[in-house]
Amino acid sequence: MISYYTCIMMLSLAALAILGVMVWENNRLSDENKRLLYLAYALIAVSFLAEWCGLKLDGNAGLPAGLLIAVKCIDYVSSPMIGAVFAVQMGMRGTPRRILNAVIGINAVFQIIACFTGWMVVVDQDNHYTHGKFYIFYLALCLLIMILVLIQTCIYSRAFKRRNRTSMYAVMVLAAAGLLMQEFLPGDYRTVYIAITYGAALWYIQYEEYLALALDDKVLKQKIKLDTDALTGVKSRYAYSHMLKKMNAEGALPEGVTAFSIDVNGLKETNDDLGHEAGDELIRGAADCIKKVFGRSGTCFRTGGDEFVVMAEMNREQAEWTVVSLESEAVFWQGTINRSLSLAVGFAVSDENPGCTAEKLVGEADKAMYEEKSRYYRISGKDRRRR
């Protein structure tokens, strides 16, 4: 007749095997993380089997006492390693990991010596075992490991949102509750490895959530990189194309929208005479002036080498004042290589272009900007081909 605890043990081992399959099927896990999870599940299974064997051997006078002692030694050596493996998977390193390794090593040596001294397990003539006088030492080591794992859990959980941390701490409480119930409740309650098995399954669910969050963060960072121009820090050409596509899909622009087209005068001349580092400084200077003037009232995109587009909610009067402010900002700008900055600015207002899409409004702003650029070269007498 199969005992109730044997049924529980068999179901728990089946759950661990299923967890192993789930880990194997998970393509988001690295090979190292998979190996650590396999090791953790294997240690739980070995510890669970060792405890079960200890119960079956307890009181069996027909078997040598050394076999029971050896089984209990395997249990006491392997069980603390479970927490250590999960701590390593959570990224434990440095001094805490060295302390953890030392504790695991000390416990393993202590348990092997205890097999011959009776420190941990005392077996009577009827092959019944009781805890030895230094069993409290083993419990203290287990408590120390739990504290180290808890500290690592706190460190590890910093990458989580607050609502994700609570479940991690709850898993730790579950494992601790299983140990406390087995050790301190009256009666022979075998709850440690059941709680650890539950905890391993819940931890895997939590780890899957972490992987999803990490993937979301990675996608968000990549999107920020795509949306941000590396040289100037304003919105990129990619973001500009996305904005046009979205606004064009919405149809005609409402009133009060102004598109600005801004270009650096004399960039090619600067590149030819002073080098591309000086040209990049002008481009960054133009972006800085644009950000200072528009602030949060407009969205700036770098659409080409020295070309910028700004979309803002303004009427004509506000746009004209903005152009004056931008030109004034450029006049007072100074770089480390360049001592001056000139911008050609054109704008178009949706109020004066009814039914116009965003793309067409930017096209009108471009026309106005090129008129300003032509006027600049006529007045300055510079070679337009060296713009």
- The DSSP string of 304-360 is SSSEEEEEEE--HHHHHHHHHHHHHHHHH---SS-S---EEEEEEEGGGSTT--HHH
Distance CA 256, CA 316 (A): 9
In single-letter form, the type of residue at position 224 comes to I
* Whole-number average pLDDT of the chain: 89
Contacts for 14 with CB less than 8 Å, ≥ 6 apart: none
Please indicate, yes or no, whether residues 153 and 74 belong to a single structural domain of this protein. Answer: yes
**Shared-domain flag, residues 209 and 264:** no
What local confidence, expressed as pLDDT, does residue 183 receive? Answer: 83
Q: Is the pLDDT confidence value at 385 over 60?
A: no
Q: Which residue has the higher pLDDT, 150 or 115?
A: 115
72 with 198, same domain: the answer is yes
pLDDT (tens digit per residue) in 303-338: 988 999 999 999 999 999 999 999 999 999 998 999
> pLDDT for 355-371, tens place per residue?
889 999 999 999 999 99
CA distance 81 to 142: 10
Considering 161, 191, 224, which residue would you say is the last residue of a domain? 224
Within this chain, do residues 184 and 284 fall inside the same structural domain, yes or no? no
Domain-embedded: residue 231:
no
Domain annotation covers residue 232: no
Residues 168 and 116 placed together within one structural domain of the fold: yes
Please state, for a pLDDT cut of 70, what percent of the chain lies above it. Answer: 96
Helix, strand or coil, per DSSP, at residue 147: helix
Segment 279-299, tens digit of pLDDT: 999 999 999 999 999 988 899
Whether residue 140 is found in the same domain as residue 21: yes
Measured between alpha carbons, how far is 122 from 125 in angstroms, rounded to an integer? 10
Q: Is residue 173 situated within a structural domain?
A: yes
Q: Does some domain include residue 54?
A: yes
Alpha-carbon dihedral sign for residues 367, 373, 376, 378:
negative
CATH assignment of the domain containing 220: 1.20.1070.10
Judge contact between 239 and 349, C-beta under 8 A.
Answer: no
Indicate whether 157 and 31 sit together in one domain.
yes
Assess whether 178 and 270 both reside in one domain: no
Radius of gyration for the alpha carbons in the chain, expressed in angstroms and rounded: 35
Q: State the number of CA atoms in the 13 A half-sphere of 218 facing the CB.
A: 6
Euclidean distance between CA atoms 308 and 289, whole angstroms: 12
Angle CA(296)–CA(300)–CA(303) in degrees, nearest 5? 175
What is the domain-level CATH number for residue 356?
3.30.70.270
Q: Is residue 229 part of a domain?
A: no
- Whether 67 shows a pLDDT value over 60: the answer reads yes
Domain tally, the chain: 2
Q: How many CA atoms lie within 13 A of 58 on its CB side?
A: 14
Q: Which of 178, 202, 224 is the last residue of a domain?
A: 224
Containing structural domain, residue 312: 237-386
pLDDT at 162: 57
Same domain for 285 and 169: no
Same domain, 75 and 177: yes
User: Which of 165-179, 213-227, 288-302, 339-353 is predicted least confidently?
Assistant: 213-227
Residue 176: its pLDDT value, please?
86
- The pLDDT, as a whole number, for residue 291 is 94
Q: Which of the four pLDDT bands, split at 50, 70 and 90, describes residue 186? A: confident
In angstroms, what CA-CA distances link 60 with 8, 47, 119, 123, 184?
A: 22, 20, 21, 11, 25
Helix (H, G, I), strand (E, B) or coil at 231: coil
Confidence of residue 386 (pLDDT cuts 50, 70, 90): very low
Summarize pLDDT for 248-275 with one digit per residue, the tens: 888 888 888 999 999 999 888 888 888 9
Of 197, 224, 251, which residue constitutes the final position of a domain? Answer: 224
250 and 191 both lie in a single domain: no
For Cα atoms 323, 329, 332, give the angle at the middle one, nearest 5 degrees.
Answer: 145
Domain identity same for 196 and 267? no
